[in-house]
């Protein structure tokens, strides 16, 4: 929709390929990233919280671009399902669209593949791909060096890393039902959407 596009999108969702006009900058350098949300998907299935997974997917990929100093330009998603659950798929795509709005990145396409023999019943997998743009002289270095300034930002949670361990701890303890200081349950806090930096 209009919320996830911009003037540089020449062709997007619905065709076989999308087209994007690059903004003019000096020393244009394209940066690409791809990622998934890992086993946080299993927690999403348990909690029936699929919109946040879409947000997580975009944040994981956009944050990887930002680590290079690139401005995210556009995003594509891939969702593989055992069978198409329209409500669940719409929730995931709403999350992806919201994540793209937050990252100021166009959602230019995606693919949903229905593969009943590949996944257990009611399961699915997600992957996202994005391209960003940075001037070569402004690309952030990949390694820290003496004299670099490190800035720490608060995290909104575990993000999508380490959920295999989180799920193991939830299975072996009663952490999932425990309340946090603000009264919310741990399980709900663990499903909080990733923040894009």
pLDDT at 46 over 70: yes
Does any domain span residue 161? no
Q: Which residue has the tokens 């891939």?
A: 78
Picking from 11-15, 23-27, 44-48, 73-77, which range would have the lowest pLDDT averaged per residue?
A: 11-15
Picking from 19-33, 68-82, 174-188, which range would have the lowest pLDDT averaged per residue?
A: 174-188
pTM above 0.85, yes or no: no
Q: Which residue has the higher pLDDT, 194 or 131?
A: 131
Does any domain span residue 54? yes
Q: How confident is the model at residue 77 (pLDDT cuts 50, 70, 90)?
A: very high
Cβ neighbourhood burial of 114 (10 Å; 0-12, 13-18, 19+): middle
Distance of CA 124 to the CA centre of its chain: 15
Which residues, 6+ apart, have CB-to-CB distance to 62 below 8 Å?
33, 72, 75, 99, 103, 105, 130, 196
pLDDT at 65 over 90: yes
Cβ atoms 92, 79 nearer than 8 A: yes
Does any domain span residue 86? yes
pLDDT at 194 over 80: no
- Please report the pLDDT score of residue 11 as a whole number: 66
pLDDT at 1 over 70: no
Does any domain span residue 78? yes
Does any domain span residue 111? yes
Cβ atoms 195, 189 nearer than 8 A: no
Does any domain span residue 101? yes
Task: Give the Cα separation of 30 and 52 in Å (integer).
Answer: 28
Q: How many residues does the chain have?
A: 197
Domain region containing 78:
27-135
Task: Give the Cα separation of 5 and 101 in Å (integer).
Answer: 9
Average pLDDT over residues 8-31: 77
* The pairing of beta strand 71-81 with beta strand 106-114: parallel
Q: How confident is the model at residue 193 (pLDDT cuts 50, 70, 90)?
A: low
Distance of CA 30 to the CA centre of its chain: 19
Give the domain CATH number at 130. Answer: 3.30.1330.10
The residues pairing with 29 across neighbouring beta strands, listed in sequence order, are 134
Q: Which residue has the tokens 């330009």?
A: 73
Helix residue ranges, H only, 80-162: 86-102
Number of domains, the chain: 1
Average pLDDT over residues 56-84: 94
Q: Which two tokens stand for residue 25?
A: 């900058």
Phi, psi for 183 (deg, rounded to 5): 95, -10
Task: Give the Cα separation of 53 and 45 in Å (integer).
Answer: 10
Does any domain span residue 31? yes
Task: Give the Cα separation of 70 and 121 in Å (integer).
Answer: 39
Does any domain span residue 116? yes
Nearest alpha carbon to residue 93 among 196, 21, 3, 16: 3
């Amino acid at each position: 929709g209009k919320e996830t596009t911009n003037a540089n999108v020449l062709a997007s969702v619905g065709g076989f390929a999308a087209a994007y006009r690059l903004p003019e900058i000096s020393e244009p350098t394209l940066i690409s990233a791809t990622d998934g949300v890992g086993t946080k998907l299993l927690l999403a299935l348990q909690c029936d919280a699929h919109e946040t997974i879409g947000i997580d997917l975009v944040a994981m990929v956009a944050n990887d671009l930002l680590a290079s100093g690139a401005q995210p330009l556009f995003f594509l998603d891939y969702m593989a399902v055992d069978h198409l659950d329209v409500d669940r798929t719409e929730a995931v795509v709403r999350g992806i669209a919201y994540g793209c709005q937050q990252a100021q990145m166009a959602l230019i396409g995606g693919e949903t593949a229905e593969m009943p023999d590949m996944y257990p019943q009611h399961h699915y997998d997600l992957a996202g791909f994005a391209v960003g743009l940075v001037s070569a002289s402004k690309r952030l270095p990949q390694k820290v060096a003496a004299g670099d300034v490190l800035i720490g930002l608060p995290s909104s949670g575990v993000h999508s890393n380490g959920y295999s361990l989180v799920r193991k701890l939830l299975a072996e303890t009663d952490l999932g039902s425990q309340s946090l200081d603000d009264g919310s349950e741990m399980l709900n806090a663990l499903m909080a959407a990733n923040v894009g930096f």
